[in-house]
Amino acid sequence: MLLGAHESIAGGYTRAVDEGVEDGCACIQVFTKNQTQWRDPVVSDEACARFVEARRAAGIAVVMSHGSYLVNLASDNGETRRRSLEALRAELARCARLGVDYLVIHPGAHMGQGEERGLALVAEGLGALLGGAGGGGGGGTQLLLETTAGQGSSIGCRFEQLAWIIAHAGVGERIGVCLDTCHADAAGYRMGTRAEYEATMGELDRVVGLSRLKAFHLNDSKKAHGSRVDRHEQIGKGTMGLTPFGLLLGDPRFASHPGVLETPPLPGGERGYKENLSVLRGLAPKIDRKRKRNKS
């Protein structure tokens, strides 16, 4: 797996590349704008060109963008829906200019109107956004639906929900999936043993198709399995344990997939990505050695 982290763009897009290099990232994730504001930034062609060149020079293999937290395609509020579609359209255009490979979004929250209605609105919105000859203006950027923890009325905590959205959006390969390990665990999918891991991946393959799985968010969880609460933790410091991450890293099916950290800062305020990446890189060999000892 290509390992990396979500890096800051404060002060300019190239800062994310600089921090990625400092942390030893093969891939990075960024926000291309302030994720808590609707207002879109004015991004010059020069700034885009600097980012593209910095990424190339640094050898960053994959760049992902995380969409705004304000976007909610499952809402039936006219103003929220209009703003959400406009924000995603602008984000896709910005990603294309920056050469971003994947745009990750949360499917949305139905806000009490019911799962069925929420799913229909998400699929309808994505179909309108990505359909047609223009394809949403995203260039080579693929949109990825992120698995969610199922907190509140959020949609996307079950693989069946993601599959329904993809099928009914009707835009083919324009939509893929990003699996967040913390969210999947909180939603009730187990990966704590090899048998559980294979069962979860088998279900994902059966329901959605592993060909749709393009990226991972690598986070431990502060809360218990099945809690449906989204609280990230340092790798190995939460309730999931190290095994799920070692199984992922040792899975040859995902050798070229990006896996980015979204872990919280360390107690002193440092990013902590170097430390977490070091833990991740050491996991697969340790688990392999353990299996060999058990066989002998």
Quote the pLDDT of residue 294. Answer: 43
Mean pLDDT of 132-157: 86
Of the pLDDT bands very low, low, confident and very high (cuts 50, 70, 90), residue 139 is confident
Mean pLDDT of 67-76: 96
Tens-digit pLDDT profile for residues 179-196: 999 999 999 999 999 999
Alpha-carbon distance 107 to 145, whole Å? Answer: 6
Quote the pLDDT of residue 295. Answer: 43
Identify whether the C-beta of residue 3 lies closer than 8 Å to the C-beta of residue 25: yes
Alpha-carbon distance 131 to 226, whole Å? Answer: 35
CATH code at position 170:
3.20.20.150
Quote the pLDDT of residue 292. Answer: 42
pTM, full prediction = 0.94
- Which residue segment(s) compose the domain that 174 sits in? 2-295
Mean pLDDT of 53-70: 97
* pLDDT > 70 fraction of the chain, expressed in percent and rounded: 93
Of the pLDDT bands very low, low, confident and very high (cuts 50, 70, 90), residue 286 is low
Full 3-state SS string of 176-235: EEEEEHHHHHHCCCCCCCHHHHHHHHHHHHHHCCHHHEEEEEECEECCCCCCCCCCEECC
How many domains, in total, are found in the chain?
1
Looking at 99-158, list the stretches that DSSP marks H as alpha helix, in order from N- to C-terminal side. 115-130
